[in-house]
Structure 1
Amino acid sequence: MRNLAALVFVGGLAFLLLVIFNQFDFAQAPMVIGQGILTDAPDRVGAANIVTAVVLGYRGIDTLGEISILFAASAAAGLVLGRRRADARRDPPGGFILRSGAALLFPLMLVVGFYIILHGHLTPGGGFQGGVILAAAFFLPLLARPETPVNHAGLSIVEGGAGAVFILTGLAALLQGGEFLQPLLDNGVLGELLSAGTLPLLYLAVGLKVGAELAGLMARLADVEVDEP
């Protein structure tokens, strides 16, 4: 009976997929909404990177949900890991190469991270990708010098402030009679750095929030005591 039920399920699924594909014309895009966004986004949103227009303009609520999920995951991991005991054993400092490399790469990674965030409306990248680079930039010195204290309070302030800016920008659009996270200000000239209205500000908020959350989470993971064999 189990094999028969599996065969019936597979047959029904194959029939459903066959019907769906039979309704599509090959070599033609079946998604009308996507084509409409490609045509409408440059003038309405002003972002040269259409992905940014979709993420922050056309489906901003989904992006807010993704940020909330990341916050919930990092908060849950922090609660599970807890605080480090005062008598816990710390890892020894890294060697000369690791410490020198961390000191050299830290400012470079900051520049790259902010560049990717601030140019997210022009080129591939944005707040999520740049935020990960910022988090890695702050975590690399911690690997080289584990005794360095981590300012979790400062990370929490940056994270909370960035999230508040993101939400308040969306509410400001609602108060002006638009949609949530609808781009405000002037769109500017397509392709220039100061363009796309408030989208660069939103991506900056996303990048700082993602970077602070991941940096705090990785610092908490580094604080977990490893039992000696």
Structure 2
Amino acid sequence: MRNLASLLFAGGLAFLLLTLLSQLAFGTPPMRVGSEILAVAPGEVGAANLVTAILLGYRGFDTLGELAILFAAATAAGVVLGRRRDDARRDPPGGEVLRTGADLLFPLLVVVGFYVIAHGHLTPGGGFQGGVILAAAFFVALLAQPARHLSHGLILWIEGLAGAAFILIGIWALVASGDFLAPLLGPGRMGELLSAGTLPLLSLAIGLKVGAELAGIMAHIADAEAPDT
């Protein structure tokens, strides 16, 4: 039965791809949206990084779906890992050297994370990448000193407020311009930090939400019951 199901899936996928290819004329580029965005995005959005303009503007619904998937994954991980047990934490063998290195890296990673978030509309990066760096800062601290405890309540508040801010900005754009997540406040001058309208605000909301969700997963892993030895 498993082989039959795999065969049916492969056959259905092949049929879908052949159907799509049959609708395209030979030699015709299948995607023309990219050239249109390259032509109009600098004037409409004002973001030097057009990838961010696409993620947070032209395909904002997809980005909202990605955030929903990440939230569901973080919630499921928290449920599976279970409750914390105080005696489950043990100091790693790295000792003082590892803890000192983590203390030095923590502020550096936080600054780099917020820098990547704040400049996501200017250079490669943005909310997703910066959020991962922020989460890594707390991950390093937990690796160096598992006895530390991250406040799950604070993480939930940051995650919830960041997600609400993303949706509220989208609704604001929908009411003001008729398009969900359409950039507001004007494009500004390309290349400057205060440009691209509301895109930096959306990037900040994504960065905080992604960072909080990943940090929450790491905190659950650190709090999980240790295996018997």
How does the TM-score come out when normalised to structure 2?
0.88
Instruction: Return the alpha-carbon distance in structure 2 between the equivalents of residues 61 and 92 of structure 1.
Output: 44
Structure 2: tracts of 5 or more residues without a match: none
Give the alignment of 1:20-35 within 5 angstroms: 20=22, 23-25=25-27, 29-35=29-35
Amino acid in the other structure paired with 1:90: R
Q: Render the CA deviation track for 1:9-41: whole Å, top value 9, x for unaligned.
A: 69x86x93896598342xx74421111011111
The structure having more radius of gyration, on CA atoms, is: 1
Q: Which amino acid is 1:68 matched to?
A: A
Compared with structure 1, are the counterparts of its residues 165 and 24 closer, same or farther at alpha carbon in structure 2 (3 Å cutoff)?
A: same
Find the counterpart in structure 1 of residue 163 from structure 2.
163
| 1:206 alignment counterpart | 206
Once the two structures are superposed, what CA deviation does each residue of 1:101-150 show, in whole Å capped at 9, x if it has no partner?
Answer: 10111111111111111111111111001100000001111111111121
Show structure 1 runs of 4+ deviating over 4 A: 17-22
Report the CA distance between 1:175 and its aligned residue. Answer: 1.4
Matched, 1:222 2:222: yes
Partner of 2:143, secondary structure, is helix
Assess if the C-alpha contact under 8 Å between 2:184 and 2:198 holds in 1. yes
Do structure 1's residue 99 and structure 2's residue 103 form an aligned pair?
Answer: no
Find the counterpart in structure 2 of residue 16 from structure 1.
18
> 1:124 and 1:37 mapped to 2: Cα distance?
18
Could you say what the CA RMSD is over the residues aligned between the two structures, in angstroms? 2.4
Q: Which residue of 2 aligns with 1:183?
A: 183
1:175-216 alpha-carbon deviations (Å, 9 max, x no partner): 113200000102100111110000000000000000000001
Give the letter for the 1:72 counterpart: A
Task: Return the letter of the residue paired with 2:88.
Answer: R
Question: Using the alignment, how far apart are the partners of 2:77 and 2:20 within structure 1?
Answer: 44
Aligned partners of 2:88 and 2:223 also within 8 Å:
no
Structure 1 unpaired stretches of 5+: none
> What is the DSSP-based 3-state SS (H/G/I as helix, E as strand, rest coil) of the residue aligned with 1:227?
coil
The residue aligned with 1:126 is: 126
Q: CA shift at 1:96, angstroms?
A: 1.8
Give the match for residue 73 of structure 1.
73
Paired residue secondary structure (2:177)? coil
2:206 and 2:21 mapped to 1: Cα distance?
41
SS at match of 2:88: coil
**Cα displacement string for residues 74-102 of structure 1 (whole angstroms, at most 9, x for unaligned residues):** 0111012121134x331224412211110
Find the aligned partners of 1:210 and 1:42 in 2 and give their Cα distance.
27
